[in-house]
A and B are shown apart, each in its own frame.
Chain A
Amino acid sequence: MSAATTVRLTHAQKGSYIVILISFDIDGTLEVGDPPGVLTMAMVKRVQKQGCWIGSCSDRPISAQRAIWAQHNISIDFAVGKLMLPDVKAKFVADMYYHIGDREDLDRKYALDAGFEFLWPHEAIVHPWFL
């Protein structure tokens, strides 16, 4: 069970709260990407501690995505290829779905097509979750 689930249950005990799912592109978005992005793994851990479902949606092979998260001791809820955000939405019941990425054609377009909210990395980094 991921850390997010544990936190969510805890929150549920305190009453209702909004369930948020955040999908991260890697290259150009996260500090570990190529090119490196502005979002740090510490920031990702921070949102996870707040009870968000988290995972990656990247052109990196899925096995490689999992390896990256494992290297940073982050237990994720999903790792998918680009164009698989509809599958993520179908599998995880959340109140809000966000995808953070750096490409108009691949990240923003497909996020919106899948019914996700979209944030550019520079927008996400000033979002309260990460601060």
Chain B
Amino acid sequence: MTPQNPPASFYRTTEGLGLWEHRGKVAAVGVGHSPTARRWDGTPETCVGAWSILALRRAIADAGVSPNQIDGLVLDPVTTTGAYWPEGVPVPMDVVNAFHPTSDPLDGIAKLSAEWILQNMPELTNIQFVMYGPRCMSHAIVVAAQAVGEGLTHTCLVLKSWHNFEGRYYQGGANAQDTIDGTSAISRLWGTPASYGTALQFAEYCRKYGKTHDMMAPFISNSRRNGLLFPEGYWAQHRPEPLTTEDYLAARWIAKPANLFDNDIPIMVSAAYLFTTPERAKDMQQKPVYILNHTSSRATPRSLTPTLEEVEAETAKTGRKLYEGAGITAADLSFENMYDGFTLFHQFHLEGLGYRGIKCGEALDFYQTDISIEGPNPVSPSGGNIGSGRSRFWMHTDCIQQLQGRAGARQVTGVTPEIAVSGGPMPLGGNFTVWSATPD
């Protein structure tokens, strides 16, 4: 079965669309995670394909369905943004042949096709719909939600996986060469690391509103604290280290004003969800969490990198679109779980949402108040990528688990978990979801 690419009609990218036509008619009913690791150890049991299968099977079991009830699969075929199979290094055929391979030997090792998944999960006998939701789980969720809403699939697995190899992220490849092509050079010749653009926006923000980098410390500490309460996460599993204010302020710069702990740590991990219709959800094991709306940002900067003005405009627009389609206001949010892969843009998401009435320039002050899971204004209760490593899906899992009452030690207690938002990655360019404990 050839995976489809999502049509443009799947995405809610503009204002004025009114309520999402499938509001409350798509439910998340199962969650499955693989273990985490810092890097692949080279064995078949832990390759990205194997852990994808594990996450999918756990989601299926969590929902309490049999595999033949599942008729849809949405996944991201790309499993990295910065760790590539080294040129010239032979692909380990013992790993390739430990599975039913596709024609691409890196499938299941450094990428992931639907074909590879379906060949290696024979229990999925009834898949009728396969689509890619590229780049991250936020995107896959939007695609799956729309597909279920439109009746293209009634019980759909949603998968996002990450691999990581030896060596440093983003090093090697074109960055290690003595030359660079002319088009890439326009933006890459000056050697900016991935967090540079966000660092620039933050620098402008601090100048404009009279804030300082130090004010980020409570957000960092809070995020890592929450992450250490996330047993599926990397830090909880491997290095249960809090991040204190001293730790944060002593960290070296990467692209000043972004320091080491403003950046997430690449890891290996997979997560899968099971989406279905509310009618089917009644017979499943977990309390359904309903999707009230999804929205997408397809904004691009005018030139090389987004300005603060562009970021503030787009995040505000995202907030308006989210509320319009869900039929809610900012006051209805129990908590927020927006993306934090670079910590320095989380506040733009918060301000765009108008979370707890925050306006532009106020988020860093808000961080100095009680933003804990026990308080009235939880910020990033998942802990995000800072709390659990680079996955771009802790925020989604947490929304589902919080609204199901299954977040364990991380369960918010200062608010009643009823409605939440999650999504990313960037302020410009991302996909966002409104989740609810009830369908209306």
| Interface residue A112 (Cβ < 8 Å from any Cβ of B) | no
Given A34-B38, A59-B260, A80 contacting B241 (CB threshold 8 A): no
Pairs across A and B, CB under 8 Å, 26 listed: A34-B239, A59-B251, A59-B252, A59-B260, A60-B241, A61-B241, A61-B242, A61-B243, A61-B251, A61-B261, A62-B244, A62-B246, A62-B247, A62-B250, A63-B243, A63-B244, A63-B246, A64-B239, A64-B247, A80-B250, A81-B250, A81-B260, A82-B252, A82-B260, A83-B252, A84-B250
Interface string of B74-118 (1 = CB under 8 A from A): 000000000000000000000000000000000000000000000
| Interface residue B253 (Cβ < 8 Å from any Cβ of A) | yes
Given A34-B38, A59-B260, A63-B246, A81 contacting B251 (CB threshold 8 A): yes
Let me know if B241 and A81 touch, CB within 8 A. Answer: no
Interface residues of A (CB under 8 A from B): 34, 59-64, 67, 80-84, 106
Counting chain A CB atoms within 10 Å of each CB, which of B244, B252, B261 scores highest? Answer: B252
Let me know if A81 and B252 touch, CB within 8 A. Answer: yes
Let me know if B250 and A64 touch, CB within 8 A. Answer: no
Whole-angstrom distance between the alpha carbons of A82 and B252 in the complex?
A: 6
Residues of A close to B253: CB separation below 8 A: 83
Contact residues, B232-252 vs A (CB, 8 A): 239, 241-244, 246-247, 250-252
Q: Smallest CB-CB separation from A110: which chain B residue?
A: B252
Residues of A close to B252: CB separation below 8 A: 59, 81-83, 106
Other contacts beyond A62-B244, A62-B250, A81-B260: 17, CB < 8 A: A34-B239, A59-B260, A60-B241, A61-B242, A61-B243, A61-B244, A61-B251, A62-B247, A63-B242, A63-B243, A63-B244, A67-B241, A80-B250, A81-B251, A81-B252, A83-B253, A106-B252
Whole-angstrom distance between the alpha carbons of A71 and B51 in the complex?
A: 32
CB A49 to nearest CB in B, in angstroms, measures: 28
Residues of A close to B251: CB separation below 8 A: 59, 61, 81
Residues of B close to A62: CB separation below 8 A: 244, 246-247, 250
Q: Smallest CB-CB separation from A81: which chain B residue?
A: B250
Whole-angstrom distance between the alpha carbons of A82 and B251 in the complex?
A: 7
Let me know if A63 and B247 touch, CB within 8 A. Answer: yes
Whole-angstrom distance between the alpha carbons of A59 and B168 in the complex?
A: 14
Residues of B close to A34: CB separation below 8 A: 38, 239
Residues of B close to A61: CB separation below 8 A: 241-244, 247, 251, 261
Q: Smallest CB-CB separation from B260: which chain A residue?
A: A59
Q: Smallest CB-CB separation from B246: which chain A residue?
A: A62
CB B182 to nearest CB in A, in angstroms, measures: 27
CB A90 to nearest CB in B, in angstroms, measures: 15
Whole-angstrom distance between the alpha carbons of A34 and B243 in the complex?
A: 18
CB B147 to nearest CB in A, in angstroms, measures: 40
Let me know if A64 and B241 touch, CB within 8 A. Answer: yes
Residues of A close to B250: CB separation below 8 A: 62, 80-81, 84
CB B214 to nearest CB in A, in angstroms, measures: 15
